[in-house]
Structure 1
Amino acid sequence: MTIDLAALKADNLARWQRATSRREFSAAARRLAESKVRYQVVSVHTGVPWYVIAVIHERESNQCWAASLAQGDPWDHVSIHVPAGRGPFDSWEDAAVDSLANCAPYAARWKDWSIGGTLTLLEQYNGLGYARRGVPSPYLWAGTDQYRSGKYVRDGVYDPDVVDKQLGCAGLLLAMKALDASIFPTTTSVPSVPTPSAPALSPRPSITRPAKGSIGDLVVGLIRAVILTFKRS
C-alpha cells in the first residue's frame, strides 16, 4: 500500500494543531535544548534542523551519546540492528551525519521543514506501518492526547493493546518550542544554520559608554548633542 505523503503531512499538521500533552515533557525538552550546539554541528553538515536531530536522538537512544542516531547501537562498533552494517565511527557526530545522509529515509535530502513536513519525515524515520493502518504513530504522538495505544513490538508485529512508554517526537517538539523560538521558524525551506561559535561579548558599560537604554545613555546623548550644537554655532 502506497502512502500519500501529502495527505499524511496534512493529517500530522492537523494533529499538531489540536494536540495536548498527557505526560511530562518539560524535563526531556530542556535536556535536549541544552545540547543545541552539539546538534547544530550535525545540522551544519546535513541541513537537518537541530531540533529534529535532537528528538530522533531521544527516541532512538534516550539521548545516549554512546549510541548511534540511526538505531541506538554503539557508534564505535558495526551496527547489528537496522540499518545494520554501519560503522564503526570516530564520534557520535560522524555516526549522526552518516545516519541522516546515507540511511533511509535520507533526512539530509528532505526539503520540507514546515511543521507537517517535519512530522512526516520523522514518521518515515520510524516507518509508515502506522499510517498504513490509519492510526497515529506513537513515534510522534506518544504522551499526547492524539495517541492511546498500539505499537509494533518487533518488525512486522503490531499489537493494538501495547502502549508506547517513550515520549513522542511531536510532544517533545511542542515542549521545546516553548523554550526556543528558533524551532519551526516561518520558512518552509531548509534553514541556514550558522556554524556554532562563542557569541561576541558586548563591551562592559562604563561612564563614557553606558548600557544602551539606561539613564546614563540618555545623559551622554544629551551632552553630545549640546557639544555638537556648540561646535556648529
Structure 2
Amino acid sequence: MDGLAQKLIGNRNRYENTGEPLGIPWTFIAVTHNMESSQNFSRHLHNGDPLTARTVQVPKGRPRTGTPPFTWEESARDALLLKKLDTWTDWTVAGTLYKLEEYNGWGYRRFHPDVKSPYLWSFSNHYRSGKYVADGTWSQTAKSQQCGAALLLRRMAELGHSGFSDQAVPALDAMPAVVRYSASEPSDPEVRAAAMALQDWLSTHKGIFVKPDGWPARRTSDAFKLVTGRYLPGDPRG
C-alpha cells in the first residue's frame, strides 16, 4: 500500500494539471488511475485499454474525437467528462467514495449487496471475497488482488498528502483519560484499553491518523502534541 501511495504522490503534478481545470481533486484521479490501469500512463483512464487506439472495453470507442495514439491527459479528460465529474461538487469523504463506486459501476450494490465493492474496500476488513471477474461475470469465491481506492485515499492522508475537508474536530473537553508514554508494548489490558480510547479520539482530528493498537508510543505522543501542544506524560522528548 505504501509503495502504491508513494508512486501516486510522485505523479501529483500530473494529476493536478488534469483535474484542477475541471474542479476535480487530484487524489480522485490518482486512485482511479491506480484502479483502472495500475498507474500506467500508456493506458486509458476509462478502463485500462491501450492509448494506441480507442477503447475496446466498456465504455467502448472513447475518446470519440481525436486521432490515436492519444496522450494520457487527452484520454483522462474525456473519461472524467464522460462521467460528468466536472459538475460534481461534493468532494467530502462520502461524496468522493460515492463517485468512485459509480465510476466502477453499481453491480455490487444492486446485485450483490452482501459484498462491499472491492473497488473501494479490498485489503480492508470490509471485504473478504466476491468480485466481477469480467464485465457482467460474477464469482462469489474470487478475491480482488488490488488495493481498494478508499484505503489508498486514507494512506495518502496519513502520509500528509491529502485530507478530508469534512472531518470534524471535537472539543478538548471530550478528550478521554490521558495515558503515559510507553517505550515497550503494555501488557495491562486496562492500560491498553485507555490507550486505544485516546488513539481513537486523536484520530477524529483533521489530518491525524493513529492506529488504535493500545500502545501509547512515539506516534501517539506526536499526535497528542499536535492536538494539545504537549507530548504524552513520560515522553523523553518533554
Question: TM-score normalised by the shorter chain: which range applies?
Answer: 0.5 to 0.7
- Give the Å deviation of 1:75: 2.0
**Alignment match, 1:60:** 36
Determine the C-alpha separation between the residues in 1 that align with 2:164 and 2:16.
15
**Alignment match, 1:223:** none
Superposition RMSD in Å? 1.5
**Does structure 1 conserve the Cα–Cα contact (< 8 Å) formed by 2:92 and 2:164?**
yes
Determine the C-alpha separation between the residues in 2 that align with 1:78 and 1:93.
14
Where does 1:171-210 land on structure 2 (aligned, <5 Å)?
Answer: 171-186=151-166
**Does structure 2 conserve the Cα–Cα contact (< 8 Å) formed by 1:45 and 1:97?**
no
Determine the C-alpha separation between the residues in 1 that align with 2:161 and 2:145.
28
Determine the C-alpha separation between the residues in 1 that align with 2:161 and 2:4.
17
1:26 has 2:7 as partner? no
Determine the C-alpha separation between the residues in 2 that align with 1:181 and 1:59.
19
Q: TM-score, normalised by structure 1?
A: 0.66
Q: Percent identity?
A: 41
Change over 3 Å in CA distance of 1:175–1:181 after alignment to 2: same
**Alignment match, 2:144:** 164
Deviations 1:85-141 (A, max 9, x none): 113364111110110002xx3222222110011001000111111112212000000
Determine the C-alpha separation between the residues in 2 that align with 1:73 and 1:45.
25
- The structure 1 residue matched to 2:132, chosen from 152, 157, 177, is 152
- The structure 2 residue matched to 1:92, chosen from 72, 96, 103, is 72
The secondary structure found in structure 2 opposite 1:136 is: coil
Change over 3 Å in CA distance of 1:181–1:64 after alignment to 2: closer
Determine the C-alpha separation between the residues in 1 that align with 2:72 and 2:135.
26
Determine the C-alpha separation between the residues in 2 that align with 1:182 and 1:152.
30
Question: With CA pairs under 8 Å and 6+ residues apart, which has the higher RCO, 1 or 2?
Answer: 1
**Does structure 2 conserve the Cα–Cα contact (< 8 Å) formed by 1:140 and 1:171?**
yes
Determine the C-alpha separation between the residues in 2 that align with 1:172 and 1:156.
26
User: After alignment, is 86-95 or 61-70 more displaced?
Assistant: 86-95
- The structure 2 residue matched to 1:115, chosen from 85, 90, 93, is 93
The residue identity in structure 2 corresponding to 1:130 is Y
Q: TM-score, normalised by structure 2?
A: 0.64
Change over 3 Å in CA distance of 1:90–1:177 after alignment to 2: same
**Alignment match, 1:196:** none
The residue identity in structure 2 corresponding to 1:27 is G
Give the unaligned 5+ runs of structure 2. Answer: 168-238
- Give the Å deviation of 1:184: 2.4
**Alignment match, 1:193:** none
- Give the Å deviation of 1:181: 4.5
Deviations 1:54-89 (A, max 9, x none): 000001111001001111112231111111111336
**Does structure 2 conserve the Cα–Cα contact (< 8 Å) formed by 1:51 and 1:183?**
no
The secondary structure found in structure 2 opposite 1:76 is: coil
